[in-house]
Amino acid sequence: MAAVAMTTWQENMAVEAAAETRPAWADYFNDEMIDFWLGEVLWNQDMAKFTSYGVGGCAEAIIWPASVRELSLLLKGIRRLNIPWRLVGGGSNILVADEGLKGITLIFGKRFATIEVVGEKDGLVDVRVEAGCSLARLVNWCAEQGLSGLEFAAGIPGSVGGALVMNAGAWGGDISQVIRSITVMDEYGECCDKEAGQLHYGYRSWGEDAGLIAVAGVFGLQRGDKAAIKEKCRKVVAARMKQQPQEASCGSFFKNPPQGRSAGELIELAGLKGKRLGGAMVSEKHGNFLINTGSATAHDLVRLMHLVQSTVNEKFGVLLEPEVRLLGFAGGN
Ligand code: EPU
């Protein structure tokens, strides 16, 4: 098909539109970044594409660092320029505000996802995995290698980095049970290794400062029977499919309270299953899943979150704490 030439006024409008999509600091950043970043910067990106919820406004800028060194240089540079930033993983446990994300959003992607065996003794195998690797890829890789220990994680979405920080878990297993050490980076771009004994893992938490980033983890796995490992993973995925909804969500929305009934049970007993606000709905299948029926905005989901919290609190005196991280909302990052 022949290209249609743009008239001058169309060209001008296109240039203006592109300029409008960039934040005020973009030119300044472009001039300065040569000192610390030679890769791509994607401006004005729809975060719905990068989250399992499929909602949220635009990130002003996205950068994908592909190594510890690149991340370190970036953090130092971004700090020097005083631009706000945050790191997101696989996007499966975050809810991004409709207003979007200011500053720079760093994402570890497929280019920062190496899996390697770093030690083996008496059938115990240490596997180092970079944070951008998806948990699904790691679980599949382990099954193919006949390595046991991560079967509980079959079907959990998200990245290894997110799983390390959230202490992802299911079916009685969680990351803290298999982790041997984590390479962490602070907000100044400095890195160090922390042994499992130095970490303060708890329920859905690694117990470290919010500013700390997990850049890689060493998992302690055991040699096992490949067919048995695959079968266990298959069963775990089947159980998940049976009990949990498949619509767009961020998994369990709230943490389970420290004692007593689970969040899902409380929400069901409060009569909230099927409750709908805009395009957001409490799943009929599992009360702790606030799903996007297709047309939800982040605002709908947050209103539903507040409604669930206040109803459960009134009926049972329990304030449910979100497990999902809210980004771009007032008071958040
Ligand atoms: N329940 C209800 N009504 C519901 C949902 C659950 O009564 O609508 C009851 C169940 O019958 C059960 C109890 O609540 O007695 C717990 O439910 P379930 O077994 O589904 O586990 P959960 O505590 O809701 C946790 C994790 C899930 C993980 C499952 C399976 C949290 C917040 N959630 O769910 O993790 O897949 O166990 O092990 O810890 C996630 O973190 O995103 C996630 C999906």
pLDDT band, residue 331 (cuts 50/70/90): low
* Residue 13 C-beta-side C-alpha neighbours within 13 Å: 5
Count structural domains, the chain.
3
pLDDT of residue 1: 37
Residues 147 and 208 in one domain: yes
pLDDT tens track for 244-301: 999 999 999 999 999 999 999 999 999 999 999 999 999 999 999 999 999 999 999 9
Q: Which one has a higher pLDDT value, 11 or 168?
A: 168
Whose alpha carbon is nearest atom 2 of ligand 1? 265
> What is the distance between the alpha carbons of residues 26 and 103, in angstroms, rounded to a whole number?
9
- Give yes or no for a contact between 298 and 96, defined as CB atoms under 8 angstroms apart: yes
Last residue of a domain, one of 211, 243, 275: 243
Predicted confidence band at 328 (pLDDT cuts at 50, 70, 90)? very high
Domain boundary, last residue among 243, 277, 293: 243
Measuring CA to CA, which residue among 59, 97, 93, 161 is closest to residue 331? 97
Question: Which of 167, 262, 282, 323 should be mutated for ligand 1, with most atoms under 8 A from CB?
Answer: 262
Residue 282: inside a domain: yes
Ligand 1 centroid, distance to 126 Cα (angstroms): 30
Q: Is 52 a pocket residue for ligand 1 (Cβ < 6 Å)? A: no
- Active-site residues, by number, are 204, 252, 323
- What is the per-residue pLDDT for 76? 96
Statement to judge: residues 280 and 179 lie in one domain: no
Decide whether any atom of ligand 1 lies within 6 Å of the 286 Cβ.
Answer: yes
Residue having the nearest C-alpha atom to atom 36 of ligand 1: 170
Domain span at residue 277 reads 263-323
For the cut 90, the answer to whether the pLDDT of residue 14 exceeds it is: no
DSSP state, residue 307:
H
CATH number at residue 87: 3.30.43.10
| pTM score | 0.91
**Gap from CA of 264 to ligand 1 centroid (Å):** 6
We report the CATH number of the domain holding residue 295 as 3.90.78.10
Domain for residue 332, yes or no? no
For residues 127-164, one letter each, b for 16 or more C-beta atoms within 10 angstroms of the residue's C-beta and e for the rest, the string is bbbbbbbbbbbbbeebbebbbbbbbbbbbbbbbbbbbb
* 288 CB near ligand 1 (under 6 Å): yes
Measured in angstroms, how far is the CA atom of residue 173 from the centroid of ligand 1? 13
**Predicted local distance difference test score (pLDDT) of residue 239:** 96
User: Which residue's CA lies nearest to atom 14 of ligand 1?
Assistant: 265
Mean pLDDT along residues 118-145: 97
251 lines ligand 1 (CB under 6 A): yes
User: Residue 121 C-alpha to ligand 1 middle, in angstroms?
Assistant: 36
Whether 128 and 226 share a structural domain: yes
In a domain, 251, yes or no: no
In a domain, residue 256? The reply is no
Q: What's the mean pLDDT in 69-85?
A: 96
Which pLDDT does position 3 carry in this prediction? 40
Structure tokens at 55: 């909602």
Residue 161: its pLDDT value, please? Answer: 97
Sequence-ordered list of residues with C-beta below 8 angstroms from that of 187, at least 6 positions apart, any chain: 75, 79, 211, 212
Check whether residue 76 and residue 145 sit in a common domain.
no
